[in-house]
Structure 1
Amino acid sequence: MDWKPDRNANKALYKQLAEYIENGIADGTFPADKPLPSERKMAKELGVNRSTVVSAYDELEADGLIVRTRGSGTTISQDIWGMSKKRVPSWNRYIESGSFLPNHPVVQRIRKEAEEIDMINLASGELSPDLFPSKVLRKLTSTRSFIGNLGHDHPLGNEILRRTIKEHVKDYRDIETNPESILITSGAQQALHLIVQCLLKPGDAVVLEDPSYHYNLQIFKSAGVNTYLLTVEKDGMDPEELVRLYKKHRVKMIFLNPAFQNPTGVSVSDRHKQRIIEISLELGIPIVEDDPYSITSFSGKKISTLKSMDETGNVLYISSLSKIVAAGLRIGWIIGPRAVIERLADAKQQVDFGHASFSQWVANEFLESKEFHLHLTRLLKNLESRRNMMIRSLQSYLRDQVEFNSPQGGIHLWCKLNRNVNETKLLEDAIREGVIFVPGSSMGSREGYVRFTYARENEERIDLGISRFAESLRMQEK
């Protein structure tokens, strides 16, 4: 077969193959009296994965051009014009044409590999099971009777939990609010989705940090908004850059993660935070503060939030229990002006009719108990110990090959590689060695960085994971 797919084209390989075969059926390249090559043989001849051929044949079968019969292979349909044959939809076309975009391919690859039991996971931004307060939660749920409503709860979320969160954010984050200004969400991720979908429209300009976890979220592209990047340096972002971006692009909203930022681990100074609030007031731009980590300061020093400085309601504040209790609880919240909260609550009702009452009850019982503070103290001690192990391992195995700052809280370490690498090859080599991480370019515009997370593995496996990464990096020299 002389034809080969063009790997540099914008069209998927399977679509190129499907079109080639369709044209070949029309011009006689593939005669009707001979079977098409098997999936395996076709893949070998073209130098593609078998899944590519399978998808192409799926498309052709959906269009009624070919027939696949177990034991007999794949043949050209005798009823090629579809006069009498039943047709099945081309699901690949539907999958690709939907308005809600799939995850970044790197994210999909990492999540797939994270399911492997033996894989050392330095990529996933969640706590390891041994850091969950499982025993405490079992005790609380076994000794106290569930008092929630098994029907649909309040549109804003359970009122008792909202009152508890009101006290929680006051005690731990110096935020003054009221239960009517709080919406319970399914983690911070749903909160971001609601804000983007309800408060922005296609063509709006928004600012994201660079690098940033938000950068690889497809919700912005799915919503059709234009994203502009605000560089994060060792001491955080420059507030005056916000002014320049606003004048150039008429920015409608700013998304920031100012405390132990994901992925860099840096925190914006109080002086810069105050200036950000002033800029928001001067230009009338709302700020979305995504704050999973301000409560995780290893020194015990309280980290100021933008929301604690917000006296006019310019800041929409997002947080959750995912990074400090357990991601599986799916308890997050948005704090903001009441009219905005009610708009977001209306959208949430359309999606899921409100949050699960049992998980809200569990979260409330834990937050109200003395066990929460004890758990937080133990958690921070463990996270600091794991961070220290990661730093020792990086210094031991990689020495001058990398540069990094020691994060003073949070769960991520941002690492600069001191030589050029092929990011795709480095990740694949690391996977073969049995460790996964997040390539830097998937979180921003700069290559040559990696993000390691130290919350998902214990100290022994962190050390082993860094040694495997070091071996993968050495393979780049070959």
Structure 2
Amino acid sequence: MWKPNRQSNQPLYQQIADDLERRISYGEFPPGSVLPSERKLAEQLEVNRSTVVLAYSELRALGIIDSRSGSGTRVTKYKWGATPKHPPNWHRYAEGGSFLPNLPFMRRIREALGQNQSLIDFASGELAADISPVEEINILMNENHYTEYLGYDNPQGFVPLRQELVNYLSQYRDIHTTDSSILITSGSQQSLYLITQCLLSPGDAVAIEDPSYCYSLPMFQTAGLRLFRLPVDHKGVRPEDIRTLYKKHRIKMVFINPNFQNPTGAVLDNERRIQLLDVASELGLPIVEDDPFSLTAYEGAPPPPLKSIDSIGSVLYIGSFSKIAASGLRVGWMVAPHSVIERLADARQQMDFGLSVIPQRVAAQFLKSPYFVPHMDRLRMHLLYKRDLLIKALQKELPDLITFTIPQGGLHLWCKIIPKINDSKLLEEAIRRGVIFVPGSVYGSDSGYMRFTYARPKAEDIGSGISKFAAALRDVLS
């Protein structure tokens, strides 16, 4: 006899409802037939009666069964000549399709933040309002009234923004390009999505860092890609590991975040950068460089991107405003050979006919305004201050239980809990106490690692947030 799968993410009652609906549709239970009682079916399936009650409620809501006192539960008997009518089984549709849902931990984090606005948020990878250029952007929007017709824009993105990005990339990232080699996207994630869907095929092998933000993106699995790991140490990835993966798995692309890597904060060593490009050119491998954090370097000049020393065109370069200005603008960009840009622009136009021109105008104005440089100076100062508050709190609350390497830029602190810990229990206990973080397993690490983002919480909440986390950790360990 069929039994529900207790290892499945689908609730038991929903599995039971789906199985009964299938059996009814196949005629095993014809119209008017009596279904087992709630108690008897619960005994047969070895579940609680309340689970069967929920399953029957689901089928009643669909109009498939009726329950009457003294008559038990029956399959609905339709009148002669009438057409059975009930809504689609949306649960089955929602579980189908080829695009995979977010990882369970990420869904849990999003759910918790939506339910409790007072949680101290070390999970969200975006800037808080107090360190975003909110006032400056409001001034620019008030000063510039748009009178032009707001129709569909150029498939590659708003031309004035791409022209400003040419200047920005040259001045701040030492990348020399033209506006025809730039594609505007809705952020780094859309850039990655377009690459996985348009430049790769199901079954292709790709290399990503370990740990890596890419592990948190189901889009790679949705595209049918095989993922192979490049371990990250304090100097970043080791170029020879790429050669090894190529020989063993014939990898077709490398995804890398070389500057203040997410989540570890590591910066790729200068010597390794040169070696990495040499290996890529030798093997004919494209490198996708995601560079959202470089301008947050706290001291000295930001580390250069790989693209700035790429002499033969091996690197597809991705950037975004999300980590340096405002994630809500939803403006990112990609620098690539023109043939690639044309291919991706065509695909993106099929998806959404291009981005809204209004945030692109705002982004272009902000880049050339006198507000950009002062904002970046303030941003670095505030991030450094918050990083130090977080480190001080961890050293005070958990001096013998957590280790970490202090990042010199970016938004994140990557930590390891010394005793063995259950990630799920720790996350739930932390949420119960009013604080939230991202478990390291989201990024492909073993349990016991975690990422604290210090850009999101208010400075005055960081100490109390770590105090709550410390109490949760000690409770789970005990």
Say if 2:472 is the partner of 1:472.
Answer: yes
Relative distance call for 1:34 and 1:444 in structure 2 (3 A) is closer
Q: Is 1:114 matched with 2:94?
A: no
> Take 1:166 and 1:154, find their aligned partners in 2: how far apart are those partners?
17
- Cα 1:461–1:60 change in 2 (3 A) is same
Instruction: Tell me what 1:169 maps to.
Output: 169
Aligned pairs (5 A) from 1:77-92: 77-79=75-77, 84-92=83-91
Corresponding position of 2:313: 313
Tell me the CA shift for residue 216 of structure 1.
Answer: 1.2
> CA RMSD, aligned part only?
3.0
**Cα deviation code 1:222-250 (max 9, x no counterpart):** 11111111111122111110110111100
Residues in 2 aligned to 1:218 and 1:101: alpha-carbon distance in whole angstroms:
6
Name the structure 1 match of 2:361. 361
Structure 2 CA distance for aligned equivalents of residues 333 and 184 of structure 1: 4
Q: What residue in structure 1 maps to residue 329 of structure 2?
A: 329
Q: Write out per-residue CA displacement over residues 334-366 of structure 1, whole angstroms, 9 at most, x where no aligned residue.
A: 100000001000011101111111111111111
8 Å contact 2:35–2:72 — kept in the other structure? Answer: no
What is the SS of the residue equivalent to 1:476?
Answer: helix
Instruction: Please give the alpha-carbon distance, in whole angstroms, between the structure 2 residues aligned to 1:9 and 1:327.
Output: 35
Q: What secondary structure is seen at the aligned counterpart in 2 of 1:203?
A: coil
Q: Which residue of 1 aligns with 2:187?
A: 187
Matched residue, 2:291: 291
Mapped partners of 1:198, 1:122: distance in 2 = 34
> Which residue pairs with 1:391 in the alignment?
391
Residue identity (%)? 46
* Partner SS, residue 265 of structure 2: coil
Q: Deviations over 1:306-337 (max 9, x none)?
A: 11111222110001000010000000001000
The one-letter amino acid of 1:297's match is A
Tell me how far apart the structure 2 counterparts of residues 275 and 68 of structure 1 sit (CA, whole Å): 71
Judge conservation of contact 1:230–1:242 (CA < 8 Å) in 2. yes
- Decide whether the 8 Å contact of 1:18 with 1:60 is kept in 2: no
Aligned to 1:429: 429
Shift of 1:6: 4.3
Q: What is the rounded CA distance, in whole Å, between the counterparts of 2:50 and 2:238 in structure 1?
A: 46
Task: Give 1:58 deviation, angstroms.
Answer: 3.6
Listed one character per residue, the Cα deviations across residues 407-458 of structure 1 (whole Å, up to 9, x for unaligned) are 0000000001001011111000001001110001111142210100000012
Contact residue 193 and residue 219 of structure 2 kept, 8 A = yes
Q: Distance in 2 between matches of 1:170 and 1:233?
A: 30
Counterpart CA distance in 1 for 2:56 and 2:206 is: 38
SS in 1 for 2:464: helix
Question: Residue 399 of structure 1: SS of its match in structure 2?
Answer: coil
The worse-fitting range, judged by mean Cα deviation, of 81-90 and 303-312 is: 81-90
Residue in 1 that maps onto 2:127? 127
TM-score relative to the length of structure 2: 0.91
Counting only pairs closer than 5 Å after superposition, residues 339-354 of structure 1 correspond to structure 2 as: 339-354=339-354
TM-superposed deviation, 1:75: 3.9
Q: How far did residue 91 of structure 1 move? A: 1.1
Deviation at 1:17, TM superposition (A): 2.1
Output the CA distance in 2 between the equivalents of 1:48 and 1:411: 49
**Match of 1:99?**
98
Q: 1:81 to 1:209 in 2, by over 3 A?
A: farther
1-structure distance, mates of 2:384, 2:23: 62
Note the 1:145-294 alignment, pairs <5 A. 145-146=145-146, 149-294=149-294
Pairwise CA distance, 1:93: 1.3
Q: What code does the residue aligned with 1:467 have? A: S
Contact preservation (8 Å) 1:59, 1:92: no
The change in CA–CA distance for 1:146 and 1:474 in structure 2 (over 3 A counts) is same
Q: Which runs of 5+ in 2 are unaligned?
A: none
Aligned residue for 2:379, secondary structure, equals helix
Which range moved further: 164-173 or 111-120?
111-120
Q: Tell me, yes or no, if the aligned pair for 1:149 and 1:357 is still in contact at 8 Å.
A: no
For the Cα contact (< 8 Å) 2:215–2:442, is it kept in 1?
A: yes
Is 1:404 the equivalent of 2:404?
A: yes
Provide the TM-score with structure 1 as the length reference: 0.91
Cα separation, 2, equivalents of 1:220 and 1:56 = 38
Query: In structure 2, the residue corresponding to 1:413 is in which secondary structure?
Result: strand
For the structure 1 residues 148 and 466, does the alpha-carbon distance in structure 2 shift closer, same or farther, using more than 3 Å as the test?
A: farther
Q: Is the 8 A contact 1:280 1:286 kept in 2?
A: yes
Match of 1:17 in 2: 16
Kindly state the Cα deviation for residue 5 of structure 1 after the two structures are TM-superposed: 4.5
Residue-pair matches, total: 468
Q: Given the superposition, is the C-alpha separation of residues 452 and 420 from structure 1 closer, same or farther in structure 2, using an over 3 Å criterion?
A: same
Q: Which amino acid letter does the alignment assign opposite residue 79 of structure 1?
A: K
The change in CA–CA distance for 1:8 and 1:270 in structure 2 (over 3 A counts) is same
Q: Is residue 59–residue 65 contact of structure 2 (8 Å, CA) maintained in 1?
A: no
Once residues 53 and 325 of structure 2 are traced to their aligned partners in structure 1, the CA distance between those partners, rounded to angstroms, is 45
Counterpart Cα distance in 1 of 2:410 and 2:67: 53
Q: Contact conserved, 2:387 with 2:454, CA < 8 A, in 1?
A: yes
SS of the equivalent of 1:333 reads strand
Cα shift at 1:191: 0.7
Report if aligned partners of 1:79, 1:85 keep a CA contact under 8 Å in 2: no
Judge conservation of contact 2:65–2:75 (CA < 8 Å) in 1: yes
